[in-house]
Amino acid sequence: MSDFDFLSQKTRNLKMKEALEIGLSTASSPSNLLIVGANGTGKTAFARWIHQTGRLGKPMKSVSAREIRERLQNLTDAMVEAKDGTLILEDVDLLPESAQFALVEALENRGGYQTRCRLICTSRRDLRALVRGGQFRQDLYYKITVMTVVLPSLAERLEDLESLLQFMIEVHSILQGKQGLVMSAEAMSFLRSWDWPGNIREMENVIERAVTLTSGNVIEGSSIRFESTETVEGPEFGPGMSLSEVERRLILQTLELTSQNRTRAAQMLGISIRTLRNKLNEYKEEGTHESLR
């Protein structure tokens, strides 16, 4: 979430507690900080929270590696705008060699301009491994990793799942002018069974969609819709195939995608568990689904 008070969530996860402790203890520090975590774990939001906790009132500027790749001058401009505040450099692991060199010069106060801002970088990859592979400058690595925070994936902090869901429901209810929304047992079952490959970002997307689709006070299972970004390898669909064959292949591929989790597969397909079970029984009788024999 773009402006997320991480302390408002009473996390029970030890890794997240450690990340919060480091964030709080270094919030007012000028030392550079690296935040590492999988895509969607909230690295940029965490960086913004650190700035707002310790440097509120001072300038803050975010710039991504993609923007720097497009135009190296964007790095210089961002540092000037950040002044004595905080510069958040997103996806530092994707910086090209020229930008890495420019950043080293800036941090050493060379290159014609002064850098007084605090630098908080985010990375989806282990920079140490990139250094060993010659893909990231070792001198830059040591300059940006005075302190390091590791954000756990949502799959690593399932003990916080329900509190995060409730928080997001409350936030998006307020944003959409709705009150008193509660989650049905079926909806909660769908959410608990999902493995959240997109982490916090995916959860927020799912909950915002669910709140939008809910007209009453209860978020039903039909409002919980996931969007998978994975691709399942399998037979291609094409002209000449019967509708029943297309349906069979789609159902079996969705089951493969969800590791045979029927609850998740039914939700992704938009059908009931009972309908899915009946279809699988048909395939079993026909001998067209060997894993059910």
Residue 237, pLDDT score: 56
Q: Note whether 266 and 275 are within 8 A (CB).
A: yes
Mean pLDDT for 277-284 is 85
For the 6-152 domain, the top CATH level (class) is: alpha beta
Computed over every residue of the chain, the mean pLDDT equals 86
Residue 252, pLDDT score: 85
Task: Tell whether the model's pLDDT for residue 233 goes beyond 60.
Answer: no
For the 155-193+202-223 domain, the top CATH level (class) is: mainly alpha
pLDDT digits (tens, 9 = 90+) for 153-177: 999 999 999 999 999 999 999 999 9
pLDDT digits (tens, 9 = 90+) for 56-114: 889 999 999 999 989 999 998 999 899 889 999 999 999 999 999 999 988 887 444 45
Task: Tell whether the model's pLDDT for residue 241 goes beyond 90.
Answer: no
Domain boundaries, the chain: 6-152, 155-193+202-223, 243-292
pLDDT digits (tens, 9 = 90+) for 41-63: 999 999 999 999 998 889 999 99
pLDDT digits (tens, 9 = 90+) for 114-139: 557 899 999 999 999 999 999 999 99
Measured distance between the N- and C-terminal CA atoms of the chain, rounded to whole angstroms: 46
Give the whole-angstrom CA distance, residue 90 versus residue 47.
Answer: 10
Evaluate the CA torsion angle 276, 279, 285, 291 in order and state its sign.
Answer: negative
CATH of 243-292, one of 3.40.50.12780, 2.60.40.60, 3.40.50.620, 1.10.10.60: 1.10.10.60
Residue, of 231 and 182, whose pLDDT is higher: 182
230 — pLDDT class (breaks 50, 70, 90):
very low
Give the whole-angstrom CA distance, residue 38 versus residue 252.
Answer: 29
Q: Closest Cα partner for 251 from 272, 266, 236?
A: 266
Residue 235, pLDDT score: 46
Residue 92, pLDDT score: 97
Residue 271, pLDDT score: 87
Residue 161, pLDDT score: 93
